[in-house]
Structure 1
C-alpha cells in the first residue's frame, strides 16, 4: 500500500498530503488513515483513564503500577513478533487480526465491573479482567507497530521520512485530540464518585468498541495489499538474536537515551490522571453566556487537558518535521526528550489551578514535536523490506528494559513495608516518585545529546 497513490518516491513528501488525499477519497490513504484514527481514538480514550477506572473498582496505587508494568511487558513482547508477522504475511491480514483483538479487549474492559464482587486473592475478578483486557486491547497499537512503520518506509524517500511520519502521525494525533474530548463530554453529566466513574467509563468503552469494529472492517475489506513488501520467513529465536546483532549502529545511542526517557515516563504516566483528579482534584468552572455556570468534574476536565495537549502536538509536529530537514533529526528528537523528562516534576508540583494545568498540558504537547523525527531515526537505516523487523527489534530492547518502571513508580507512590517485621521501609510519596522520574529522564536526554548520531539522509 502506498501513502502517495501514483507518486514517485523521488517527489517530496508533503505532510498535508494525508489530508488532501483523504478528502480526494483515494482509497488506500482512507483505509490506513481510518484504521489509524479508529484504534488510536479508542485506545487513547480508554488508556489515559484506566488508573481512574481501576481506582473506582478498588485498585490500590501498587496494583495500578503493576498494571502499567504489565502494559510495558506487552509493549516489549508484541512489536517484534508483530513486525515479523507483518513482514511475512503483509499488512492487510496482520492489521486486521490485530484490530479484531483490540476490539475484543475493549469488550472485556466493558464487562469488568460485572465481576467486582468476586474475590481473587487480595483483589477482585474485575481487576483481573482489566489486566486480561489489556492483553487484547493493546494488540493493534503494539503488534501493528512494525506494520505501520514499514508502510511509511516503503512509501517515501529517505530524506523525507520525518515528513512522511508527520503525515500519518497527524491522523493518529487527531484521534488523540478527539478521543479525550469525547471522554470529557461523557464524564460531564456524572460526578466524581466511584459509581459515576464506572458508569461514565463504560459509556466511553462502548464508543471505543464501535470504533474498533468499524476500523477492523474498513481495513480488512478496503485495504489494497498489492504494494506490500515482504521479508523472509521468521526463523525462531535464532532470528531474534540475528536481528539484534544486525541492528544498525546508528540506533544504539538513540536506543539508550530513549530507554532512559521512556523509563522515567513509564514510572508516572499511568498516574497522570490520578494526580489531576484525586491528588490535586482540579476541575473547571466556566460562566457561559445564555447558559450560566458550567462545572466540570476533575475527570471531565482531564479530558479537556488531554485534548489541549494533542492540539498543541498537532500544531507543532509538521513544522518540527520540516525543521528537521534543515537542522537535522537529532535536535528535534532531543527537544521531545527534554519535555518528556521535566513534565513529571512540573505536574506533581503544579498549583491547584485549572489555568496552571492548562498551561502545563499545553507545554506537554511539545514532546510530540520530536516524534516524527524520532521514528525517522529508528526506521531510516533499515533495508527495504525489513522496516517492520528493525522497528520490532528496537522496541523489543527498549520496552524490555522499561518493563518495571510503572511498578517502581507505584511502589514509591504508595510506599511499602518490610514483609517480615511490618515496619515501614518507605513512606508513600507521589512527589518523590515524580522527582526520580524527572532525574532519570534528564540523564537520558543528556546522553542522547552527547552521543546520539544523525541519520545520513539528514546530514
Structure 2
C-alpha cells in the first residue's frame, strides 16, 4: 500500500492491477472483455430497436429500464457475492450477461408477442436482454473505488482513478470502432448489427471462462445474508456531509444526460442521416470510404473516446494544482451543453467529428469526480460510501429517459435536448456555488 511519502507515478495503480495480484489481473481481463462486448452493442441498441419497429417513446422507456437496473443491481449483486463467494458470483454474472447478448442476437428471429389486444414487436426482447446483459456490471463498483483509495495517497486519488479509467475505457474505444467495421460489412443494419452481437457473445463466453478457471478463490469468504433496508438507511445517514452538494449537482447533470443519451445515435442516423463518403489518399494510393450513418456513428464514438483517453490523465495532474472541484465542474459543463451542441450542429461529417471530440472532454473530469466521491470516506468505508452515493443518484435518475422519450416522440427532439441542457446547467451551477473541495486538494 502506498503512503504519502511513496513516490507514486500515474501508472502505479495500473501496474498493481496487471502485475502484482493474479486475481485482480484476471478480473481486469474479464472487465475488459465484458466492457468491450457491452460497448460494441449498447450505444447502437436504440437504432436496432427502431429498425425492429420501436417508437421513440419505447426507446425512452428502454433507457429508463436501464436506469432501474443500474440503480438496483449493485446491492443484490454484492449480497450474492457475499453468499456464494466471488468466483461463483462472477461466473453467474458472466453467464447471465452472455445470455443477454444472445437475446439481442436472436430477437429478430423470435418475433413479437401479443398480450391481449396489445402486440409487442421483436424489440421487446431487447428489454429482456438488457436485464441479463448488465448482470456482470453489478459486481465490484464499490470494491473498485475502495481498492484505489487504499492503494493511493489522498493527494493522488485523481491520478489513481485516471490510470484505472484509462485501462477500462480502452475497451470503450475499441468496442464501437470494431462495431463500426462489422456494421460496414452488410448494407442492412439489422443484419450487420447481428455480426456485432455475435462477436459480443464470443467475448462474453471468453470473459466467463477466463474468470471461472483462472480466478483464485482461495481467499474468498462466504458471508452472512444481506442486512436489509436498515443497512441502506444507515449508509445514507452516515454519508459524509461534503458529498451532498456534489450528489445534488451530479444527479441533475446525470438526469439531464439520461433524458437524451439513448437518442444520440438516432440524431446521427435518423434525423441528420449523416454518413461519410470520401476518398482517402495514403502512400500514393487512393481508397474510397463509404460509411453508412450507423457505421459512422461508431467511429464518432471512437473519436469521443480518443479525446477521453488523451485528457483524463493530464486533467488529473491539473487537479493536483487547481483542486478537484474546477476539473469536476468542467466535466459537468460539457455534459450539460452537449445536447444542444449536438442537436443544433451543422449536419455534416466534419462538424459531427468536432462535436463528438468535444463530448470526449466530459470524461476529463471523471477521475477527479471519483476522487471527490471516495476521498472524504474513512478508510475501509470507501466501497460502502460509493455504493450509497450511486444507489441514491441512479434511483433519482430512473425516469429521465422516459421523460426524454416523451418529449422526443410527442413534442420534438429539439425540445427534449434543450430541456436536458437546461437541467444540466442548473446542476453544474449548483455544484459551482455549493460544492466542497476535498481537503487533500485544497
Q: Tell me what 1:62 maps to.
A: 57
- Equivalent residues of 2:78, 2:138 under 8 A apart: no
1:76 is displaced (CA, Å) by 1.1
Offset at residue 153 of structure 1 (A) = 2.8
2:123 — aligned with what?
127
Structure 2 CA distance, aligned partners of 1:111 and 1:198?
11
The reply on whether 1:106 has 2:101 as its aligned counterpart is yes
Q: Is 1:81 matched with 2:64? A: no
1:169 corresponds to which of 165, 186, 191: 165
Equivalent pair of 1:13/1:164 in contact (CA under 8 Å): no
| Shift in CA distance, 227/309, structure 1 to aligned 2, threshold 3 Å | farther
Q: Is the 8 A contact 1:86 1:388 kept in 2?
A: no
**Shift in alpha-carbon separation, 1:149–1:95, aligned structure 2, 3 A:** farther
* Alpha carbons of structure 1 residues 458 and 225: separation in structure 2 relative to 1, 3 Å: farther
TM-score normalised by L of structure 2:
0.92
Instruction: Assess, with a 3 A threshold, how the Cα gap between structure 1 residues 383 and 101 changes in structure 2: closer, same or farther.
Output: farther
Match of 2:26 in 1: 31
2:242 maps to which of 240, 250, 258 = 250
The CA deviation at 1:376 is 1.2
Q: In structure 2, what is the equivalent of residue 210 of structure 1?
A: 202
Distance 1:91 1:390, change over 3 A: farther
Change (3 A) 1:25 1:390: closer
Q: Any idea what SS the aligned residue of 1:64 has?
A: helix
Q: Distance in 1 between matches of 2:7 and 2:245?
A: 29
> Which range is displaced more, 296-305 or 384-393?
384-393
Task: Confirm or deny: 8 A CA contact 1:18 1:29 kept in the other structure.
Answer: no
1:442 paired to 2:395: no
Task: Give the corresponding residue for 1:157.
Answer: 153
Contact (CA 8 Å) 1:59, 1:123: kept in 2 or not? no
Deviation at 1:210, TM superposition (A): 1.4
Tell me the distance in 1 between the aligned counterparts of 2:322 and 2:271: 41
> 360, 379, 392: which one pairs with 2:355?
360
Q: Partners in 1 of 2:359 and 2:222 — Cα distance? A: 38
CA distance in 2, matches of 1:52, 1:161: 38
Q: Specify the SS of the correspondent of 1:126.
A: coil
What is the count of residue pairs matched by the alignment? 437
The worse-fitting range, judged by mean Cα deviation, of 217-226 and 267-276 is 217-226
The correspondence for 1:431, drawn from 414, 420, 441, is 414
| Counterpart pick for 2:251 among 241, 246, 259 | 259
In the alignment, is the contact (CA less than 8 A) between 1:33 and 1:168 conserved in 2?
Answer: no
CA distance change for structure 1 residues 302 and 447 in 2, over 3 Å: closer, same or farther? same
Deviation string for 1:330-375 (max 9, x for gaps)? 1111110000000000100111100000000000000000111111
Q: Secondary structure at the match of 2:277?
A: strand
Residue 371 (1) aligns with residue 366 (2): yes
CA distance in 1, matches of 2:221, 2:367: 22
CA apart distance, 1:83: 4.5
User: Shift of the alpha carbon at 1:432?
Assistant: 0.3
Task: Name which of structure 1's ranges 148-157 and 17-26 shifts more when overlaid on structure 2.
Answer: 17-26
C-alpha distance 214-75 of structure 1, shift in aligned 2 (>3 A): same
CA distance in 1, matches of 2:438, 2:304: 29
Secondary structure class of the residue paired with 1:286: strand
Structure 1 position 29, deviation (Å)? 5.0
Q: How far did 1:112 drift?
A: 1.2
Q: Is the 8 A contact 1:341 1:445 kept in 2?
A: yes
Whether the aligned pair in 1 keeps the contact of 2:113 and 2:121 (CA below 8 Å) is yes
TM-score by length of 1: 0.89
CA distance in 1, matches of 2:400, 2:373: 22
Assess, with a 3 A threshold, how the Cα gap between structure 1 residues 162 and 88 changes in structure 2: closer, same or farther: farther
Alignment of 1:400-439 (within 5 A): 400-415=395-410, 428-439=411-422
Q: Is the 8 A contact 2:13 2:148 kept in 1?
A: no
* Aligned counterparts, 1:378-417, within 5 A: 378-415=373-410
SS at match of 1:288: strand
Distance change (3 Å), C-alpha of 1:231 and 1:446: farther
Q: Distance in 2 between matches of 1:88 and 1:151?
A: 21
Shift of 1:8: 3.7
CA offset digits 1:168-189 (Å, max 9, x no partner): 1111211010001101101112
Q: How far apart in 1 are the matches of 2:236 and 2:18?
A: 41
Secondary structure in structure 2 of the residue aligned to 1:457: coil
Deviation at 1:85, TM superposition (A): 5.2
Aligned partner of 1:115 in structure 2 is 110
Cα distance, 1:359–1:134 mapped onto 2, change above 3 Å: same
Q: Deviations over 1:91-136 (max 9, x none)?
A: 5554443333222211121121122244345443522211111111
Helix, strand or coil at the partner of 2:338: helix
RMSD: 2.4
Given the superposition, is the C-alpha separation of residues 230 and 456 from structure 1 closer, same or farther in structure 2, using an over 3 Å criterion? farther
Distance 1:20-1:242 versus aligned 2 partners, 3 A rule? closer
Of 160, 176, 201 in structure 2, the residue corresponding to residue 180 of structure 1 is 176
Q: Is the 8 Å Cα contact of residues 184 and 300 (structure 1) preserved in structure 2?
A: yes
> Are the structure 2 counterparts of residues 380 and 251 from structure 1 closer, same or farther at C-alpha, using a change threshold of 3 Å?
same
